[in-house]
Amino acid sequence: MYLQPPFDNESSTCPFCQENTISHGIVQQIENYFDETYSCSIDQINHFLSRYSLALEQIASLDSYKSIPFSIESLPKLTEFHGKLTKNLEANARSIEAKKNSPSTSISLIDTRNDFASFNEFLKGINEKISKHNEKLDNVGAELDKLKQKFWGLMRWEYDQTISALEAQVIRSNQRIVKSNEREKIASDIITSKKSKIALLQKSTVNIDDAINNINEGLVQIGISDFSIAKHNDSLYKIVRLANSTAEFSSLSEGEKMIISFLYFCELCKGKRSAEEVTGKKVAVIDDPISSLSHIFVFNIGRLIKSEFFDSEDFEQVFVFTHSLYFFYELADSNHIKRKESQKLFRLLKNNMGSQILKMSYEEVQNDYHSYWSVVADAAQPPALIANCMRNIVEYFFNFVQKQDLNNVTRRPELQGSRHQAFCRYINRESHSLGQNIFDYKEFDYGSFREGLKLIFEVTGYIEHHEKMIAVLGK
């Protein structure tokens, strides 16, 4: 029986005589009567109980194991091991609790070592599956290659007969191609020999024949065959259009004039202006040679500049100016190492403050849409250019990207205030690609136009796009 100590100086009831005779002194005498063995035994029981309680707490619930995909297929076995282990641990905990309440009672605990070993071995198998899966994720490229090899191996086996027949046909076709190439080479050598003889004969006549030949060959390489040039006298050329030997230079289109002028420029750079001129290193400046040209000639002009100027040792420096992004990418060396060694990139900027030449990296080159945002963000740009770029931004985004009518966009009630009327009037103008239809400069206010542009994106639900473009390209 457990003896309850009294509170403070009071006496408590004796469990035997039911009188208030139990004082602190009597309790102390009774406790002194017993030795420390009893207390040690109680402490040991409490220690065992704490260990079992901790073990029970550390074992995850069955639901937590069920949430792991790799344990689903082994769920019955997992439930069995988990249930047996927790059941035995709980039974031992109850036995220890009973021993604590009745120290004199003898108890026997269930040996759970095998239960733990079996459960841990089972979990080890699941963990191995997880580890293998993680290894595959860490080497996803190699695993995909294995799948591809298996797939194409299967395909190869299924279509072996078709593939074998195709391979045999390819071999026969390649043999015929080799023979055709041999015949073509023989014919080409004959043509080259004849051309060499013609060129030698022409060199013996006048000095400008080489230039005429080179210009005409350049026209053919570019893809122009309906006109050529011929010698007019010892120092002049003339245009020959098909059978018409009296065609004039004015009969050519702007693009044709640009091409033949550029070819003449190439020949002029290779030669001398006079017989007395001393040969030396040259500097060539080429200003937008593809203006007025169809896009189909951009590649040819780019190849010609590379072969005649970039790859030539006769030129110390070559400056090329262009507005065309396509032409820029055609001339810029795609190999960043070679580009760094032989090319330098610059951006020429013009605004109300003057002109600037700034160094530029290859990665800074933007498309037209990004360039519009850069202009809009620069308050020093001419008002007509800023307003026109705003018009291009709004039309591109809403007409082409979001498929919205531009007129409906600017009719939103939020844009009808007097502050944004000038902005809306310009955005709604029919012609937007030319600056000459810009309103009176007194009507342009940079702040209100910037607010109007932002408001359009805000009321249409695309304010994040506006903020992103300003953050990346603007100010």
- CA–CA gap between residue 236 and residue 139 (Å, rounded): 71
Residue 206: per-residue pLDDT: 44
For residues 121 and 168, which has the higher predicted lDDT (pLDDT)?
Answer: 168
Is residue 173's pLDDT more than 90?
A: yes
At 368-397, the pLDDT tens digits run 677 788 888 888 877 877 888 888 888 877
Residue 74: per-residue pLDDT: 72
Among the four given CATH numbers 3.30.420.40, 3.40.50.1980, 3.40.640.10, 3.40.50.300, the one describing domain 205-344: 3.40.50.300
Residue 149: per-residue pLDDT: 86
- CA–CA gap between residue 446 and residue 376 (Å, rounded): 9
- CA–CA gap between residue 59 and residue 323 (Å, rounded): 71
- Lowest mean pLDDT segment, chosen from 170-179, 195-204, 270-279, 345-354: 270-279
* Segments making up each domain of the chain, as ranges: 34-138, 159-204, 205-344, 368-473
Is residue 89's pLDDT more than 60?
A: yes
Task: Write the CB contacts of 283 (distance below 8 Å, at least 6 apart in sequence).
Answer: 315, 316, 317, 318, 319
Residue 384, token pair as written in the block: 């007509």
- Lowest mean pLDDT segment, chosen from 116-120, 294-298, 434-438: 434-438
Residue 437: per-residue pLDDT: 42
Residue 179: per-residue pLDDT: 92
Residue 318: per-residue pLDDT: 93
Return the amino acid letter for 388: N
Residue 432: per-residue pLDDT: 39
For helices 160-203 and 209-222, what crossing angle results, to 10°? 160
Residue 434: per-residue pLDDT: 38
Is residue 13's pLDDT more than 80?
A: no
For residues 157 and 404, which has the higher predicted lDDT (pLDDT)?
Answer: 157
At 179-228, the pLDDT tens digits run 999 999 999 999 988 878 776 665 554 466 777 777 778 777 777 777 77
- CA–CA gap between residue 428 and residue 186 (Å, rounded): 65
Is residue 176's pLDDT more than 90?
A: yes
pLDDT range class, residue 83, cuts 50, 70, 90: confident
What is the average pLDDT score of the chain?
Answer: 77
Residue 49: per-residue pLDDT: 80
User: Which residue pairs from 2-7 have beta carbons closer than 8 angstroms and sit at least 24 positions apart in sequence?
Assistant: 3/27, 3/30
Residue 369: per-residue pLDDT: 75
Percent above pLDDT 90 for the chain? 7
Residue 220: per-residue pLDDT: 76
How many other CB atoms are there within 10 angstroms of residue 440's CB atom? 8
Provide φ and ψ at 110, rounded to 5°: -80, 130
Is residue 16's pLDDT more than 80?
A: no
Q: Average pLDDT, stretch 120-129?
A: 80
